[in-house]
Structure 1
Amino acid sequence: MAADLSYAGKRVVVSGCFSGMGEATARSLLELGAEVHGLDYKDTNLNLASFTKVDLRDPASIDAAAASIGGKIDALFNCAGLPQTFPAIEVMKVNYMGTRRMTEQLLPYMGEGSAIVSISSNGGLGWSQRIPLLIQVLQIDGFEAAVKWTEEHSSDVAEGYALSKELIILWTMMMGVPFIKRGIRINCTQPGPTQTPMMKDFETATPAGVLTGAMQPINRRSTPQEQANALIFLNSDLATYINGVSLPIDGGFMGGLATGQIDITAMMAAAAG
C-alpha cells in the first residue's frame, strides 16, 4: 500500500505552489519522490524540477506556461485561487476560467492512469441549487466568451467566489465521464476554513460568525498540510476508482449540515447581520 502512495518516477504539475495548500502539496510531492513542475504568479523557494510564472487571468500566459512544461504529465494539482477581496472578474478568471484552461492545455500531455485534482471550497456548497445556471456557464466555449458572460451577469456572479467554486464542483462531476474514457481521473476537494496566508482576506470579507460556524463540529481550522494530504491521496494510485467526486475536507461540517446538526440558518443570519 505504501508503494501506491509513492510518486517516485511521476511527473506532476502544481499550480499555486507559492504558498498555502499548493506549497504544502508541492513540498510533500517532492518528499514522495515526484518530479514537480510548479506554476504561480509569485516565485517559489522550493527546489522544483521547473518553475514557470503564470497569470491565470491571461489565456496567453496560461498557454505559454503549459507549452513550457511539455512532456508526459502523470498528475495535475490545481491549487491556485483568489479570495473574494479581489474584483469579481479576477476571481472568476483565476478560480474557474484559468483553472479550466490550464487543465485543458495540459490534457494532451496526460494519458492512461493520470489524474487531476482541483481545490474548490465549502463556499461552493450551493452548487446543487444553481445547476441550470452553472451548466449554462460550463457550456460556454472559450476563455474570452466566459469573460463576456461574467461581465454581462453581475447579479449572478456577485463577489465571484461562490460561483467560481460551484463551477469547479460541477465541472469536475461533468468531466469525470469523458475524461475517464481516456483513462484520466478528475476530482476536487471542498476545504473548510484553512489557516493559509489567504485566510486574512476571508476574515476581512466574511462575518466572524460564519467562519466560526464553518469550523464546526471540529472547532478548529485545517492546516494546509491536511488539505494537501487529501489532494495527494486523490491523485495517487490508492484512489484509482475515485472519479468525478467533490470531496469535503472540512472536519465534518458538510455531514453536520446534511443531518441537521449544524444550523445553516444561524450562519446565514450572521452573514446578513
Structure 2
Amino acid sequence: MKRFADKTVLITGGTSGIGFATARRLLDEGAYVVITGRHETRLDAALARLDAAPERVLAVRADVASLADLDRLMERVDAWRGGIDAVFANAGVGVFKPSEEMTEADFDHTVDVNFKGVFFTVTKALPLLRDRASIVLNASWTLHRGLSVASVYSASKAAVHNLARTLGAELAPRGIRINSVSPGYIDTEMYREFNTDPEVEARIVADIPLGALGHAEEVASAVAFLASSDASYITGQDLVIDGGVLGSVPSQDPSEDPSQDAAQDAAQNPASPPSQTPDPDPASASAS
C-alpha cells in the first residue's frame, strides 16, 4: 500500500522547484494533488511535466497573499475532493537588500506572502482538513543563522517555523500535526538562473560538509516523510535539509570578505522582483 493512496494533498507554489518535486513525489506515492501558482501558463506547463492522469491533479491559479484567492482555492478543492489530508505551504518570496535600503513595499510584500500567506493558507484549509491530517510549512535554514541582506526574509521564515510550533499545539486535539522544513542550498531552476558565477558556487559547496548542493527531490522526500503517517508522533518541529551547513564552521569567516558573503547570500536567495516561489518568477534559489 502506498503511503498516500487516496489521500488529497494541497501544495502551494507547485509549478517548479521544491513544490513541483513534492507534487511528483506524492503522485508517485498515490496521492491526489492540488498545485497552485500565479500564472496559468506555468500551471499548464507543470501539468504537462507531471504527466499524471487528469483526475489525479488539480491546478488552481492563486496568489497566497490574496485571501479572496485562498477562498476560491478552498472552494475548488472542496468541490474536487471534499477534504484535505495534507498541506504543503510552500509558496514564498525573497527580497534581499541591506536593511536601510528595504522599502515599506519590500517589507510588506515579503511578509504578505511568507507569513500572512502561509498563516491564511493553513487557517483557510482548516475546515477541509480531515482529523489526523498533516501540515508542512516551507521555512528556510536562514531562520537559524544571521545572514547579511536577509533581515526581513529571515524574520519571515522564523515566523513560519514559530507557526509550526504554536499551531502544532493548537491543532493537536484534532490529531493534526504541523512541522516545517528548512532547506539550505538547493539546486533548483532559480538557483541556476541566478548563480552563474562558478567561483561563488565553489565557495558555497566548500562550506557544505556533504560537498554538494541539495536537490529539490531531497527536500520533497523530507516533506513526504513529515506529511505521512511515518511521522505520526512528530509535530511542532523544524527539519533542516542543508547538507550539514548549520552544524559546521564556514571555511572562511564571512566578515573577512563581506563582498563574498553578499555573493553567497545572493546565490542562495537572489534579489528579485515580486514573485512567489517556486512559481518560476525570480525569487529564491532554494524555492523556500
TM-score bracket relative to the smaller structure: 0.7 to 0.9
Task: Give unpaired runs (5+ residues) of structure 1.
Answer: 128-156, 257-261
Counterpart code for 2:214: S
C-alpha deviation, 1:25, in angstroms: 0.4
Give the whole-Å Cα distance in 2 for the aligned partners of 1:232 and 1:76. 11
Aligned to 2:212: 220
Which one of the candidate residues 26, 30, 35 is aligned to 1:33?
30
Task: Tell me, yes or no, if structure 1 residue 61 matches structure 2 residue 69.
Answer: yes
CA distance in 1, matches of 2:130, 2:22: 22
Paired position in structure 1 for 2:225: 233
Aligned-pair distance for 1:265?
A: 7.8
Change (3 A) 1:114 1:223: same
Higher relative contact order (CA 8 A, sep 6+): 2
Structure 1 counterpart of 2:100 = none
Please say if residues 115 and 235 of structure 1, whose CA atoms lie closer than 8 Å, have aligned partners that are also in contact: yes
Cα distance in 2 between the residues matched to 1:95 and 1:264 = 31
Q: Could you tell me how far 1:197 is from its partner in structure 2?
A: 2.1
Provide the C-alpha distance between the structure 1 equivalents of 2:173 and 2:255, rounded to a whole number of angstroms.
Answer: 41
Structure 1 residue 18, shift from structure 2 partner: 0.2
Q: Is the Cα–Cα contact under 8 Å of residues 207 and 251 in structure 2 kept in the other structure? A: no
Query: What is the CA–CA distance in structure 1 between the aligned matches of 2:140 and 2:229, rounded to whole Å?
Result: 24
Quick check: 1:193–1:211 contact (8 Å CA) kept in 2? Answer: no
Q: 1:97 aligns with which of 116, 121, 125?
A: 116
Q: Distance in 1 between matches of 2:218 and 2:131?
A: 28
- Partner in structure 2 of residue 52 of structure 1: 60
Question: Does structure 1 conserve the Cα–Cα contact (< 8 Å) formed by 2:205 and 2:213?
Answer: no
Q: More deviation in 106-115 or 228-237?
A: 106-115
In structure 1, the partner of 2:20 is 23
Q: TM-score, normalised by structure 2?
A: 0.73
Tell me which moved more, 157-166 or 51-60.
157-166
Instruction: For residue 254 of structure 1, report the CA deviation from its aligned partner.
Output: 2.1
1:77 aligns with 2:85: no
Taking the aligned partners of 2:20 and 2:179, their CA distance within structure 1 comes to 19
State the shift of 1:104 in Å: 0.6
From 140, 154, 160, the equivalent of 1:162 is 154
Distance 1:26 1:243, change over 3 A: same
Aligned-CA RMSD value: 2.7
Return the TM-score normalized by structure 1. Answer: 0.77
Distance change (3 Å), C-alpha of 1:8 and 1:209: closer
Q: Equivalent residue for 1:255?
A: 247
* Structure-2 change in CA distance of 1:82 and 1:202 (3 Å): farther
| Structure 2 match to 1:196 | 188
Q: CA deviation at 1:193?
A: 0.5
State percent identity of aligned pairs: 31
Does structure 2 conserve the Cα–Cα contact (< 8 Å) formed by 1:192 and 1:214?
no
1:252 is matched by which residue type in structure 2?
G
How far has the Cα of 1:54 moved from its partner? 0.4
Tell me, which stretches of 5 or more residues in structure 2 are unaligned?
97-104, 264-288
Aligned equivalents of 1:240 and 1:223: distance in 2? 25
CA distance in 2, matches of 1:186, 1:50: 23
